[in-house]
Structures are given as structure tokens and as C-alpha cells.
Amino acid sequence: MEPRVTKPRVVVLDYGSGNVRSASRAIERAGATVEVSHDRQAALNADGLVVPGVGAFAACMEGLRGVQAPQIIDQRLTGDRPVLGICVGMQVLFEWGVEHEVTTEGLGQWPGTVQRLPARVVPHMGWNTVSAPESSLMFAGVHDARFYFVHSYAALDWVLPPNPYGPQPAVTWTTYEAPFVSAVENGPLWATQFHPEKSAQAGAVLLANWIGTL
């Protein structure tokens, strides 16, 4: 195979959630050409799409619907085109989010509900370890590293049934008084609860691992 002569093109989806600039800079440093955009065609045509997210589940879902993100993500995944969700950008991939006793429908890529962490102190803020499968492509070279978290909500269970027809999703866990899902690799759909763009060298390696799949 001949080496790739151009950098992969990545769109960081701009839907009003914030945090797009730090994510785009980190992805550029990891080896991609990055555009911050809410343009549907740009998001569909890019080699990779990043869905960041900060703030409330419901507000992020409103912003995503406003730029037709549910349809964009569905279309990309149907075509086996990579998507990376970060923080709330991971949470919205589940069916439901519950915040302050309000239930909001998510993107439904995975069954399950995002809910408040059952910890004495929230948010969970700072560096923590992960427990990733040995086969993980996402964590290649950084299985023993620490990553930076800032969140009060997470998926506490993994309920996706085994897939007898293809590779099983690689689910990574982290413990903050109780275990929660901190990353998932599910075919072309990858997601992290932590912020790789704020996770120093470990985060840079992880982003480079994702870019290597584009």
C-alpha cells in the first residue's frame, strides 16, 4: 500500500456546544486537517467527524437537531464513515439522558440511559485511569495512561447485546466511586467520556490512533 500523501480531513461539528476550538487544535496537532463547521455536506464528506459537547444533555440535543446532526451521523455510520464523540458528544449517542428529573431523547446509537454519577462529590473532575480491553485500537500505546474528566453524568451500564454477525463493541470502564462507561469503540463509531484534547500526551496518542483509522 502506498503511503497517504495528504492529511485526513476532519470536521469538528459546530452546533453551539462550545469547546470546538480546543478540540480542533488538538486534532490538528495529531495529524489531520480540521474544519469547524455545521455545514451538512462538509460533515458528510469529511474523512472523520468529531461531535464535541459540553453542558447539559438537553441543550446539546437541541443544538444537534438544529444542524441535522442525527441524520448526518446516521448517514455517515451507514456508510462506515468514522465518527468520534467527546464528553457530552458521547452521552448523546445513547437512547436517553436524565438530568434534574427531566428525560431527554438522545441519538439512540446505543441503548441505555445517561444519568447522574452516584458519587458523593460531583462533578468528577480531574485525572483518572481507564480499564480498556487489550484489543482496543483506541488505547493502543496508552492502556496504562490517565485521562482528564469533567462531568457529572455518564452511562452507568452497558446494555448493547452481543453481535453474532460482527466484531463486539470494545467498552472501556472507569471508576469514580462506582464504575461508568468511559469509552466505546463500535465499528466506525468511537466515543470518550473524558476529554482527549485536555489529556496531554495520552490524549494526543488516542487522537492519532483515531486519525489512523480514517
Q: What are phi and psi of 72, to 5 degrees?
A: -60, -50
60 is catalytic: no
Per-residue pLDDT of the chain (214 residues; tens, 9 = 90+): 455 568 999 999 999 887 799 999 999 999 999 999 999 999 999 999 999 998 899 999 999 999 999 999 999 999 999 999 999 999 999 999 999 899 999 999 999 999 999 999 999 999 999 999 999 999 999 999 999 999 999 999 998 776 666 678 999 999 999 999 999 999 999 999 999 999 999 999 999 999 999 9
The number of residues making up the chain comes to 214
pTM above 0.75, yes or no: yes
Domain ranges of the chain: 9-211
pLDDT of residue 19: 75
Catalytic residue, chosen from 38, 87, 151, 185, is 87
Contact 207, 196 (CB under 8 A): yes
pLDDT number for residue 91: 98
Active site residue 197: yes
Give the strands of the sheet with 48-51, arranged side by side. Answer: 33-37, 9-13, 48-51, 83-86, 189-192, 178-186, 170-176
| CATH number belonging to domain 9-211 | 3.40.50.880
Supply the pLDDT for residue 2. 54
Q: Which of 38, 124, 151, 195 is catalytic?
A: 195
Catalytic residue flag (residue 100): no
Q: Nearest to residue 137, comparing CAs of 89, 207, 78, 201?
A: 207
pLDDT for residue 3: 57
**What is the reported pLDDT for 160?**
76
Contact 93, 64 (CB under 8 A): no
Catalytic residue among 124, 151, 185, 197: 197
Residues 131 and 174 sit within 8 Å (Cβ to Cβ): yes
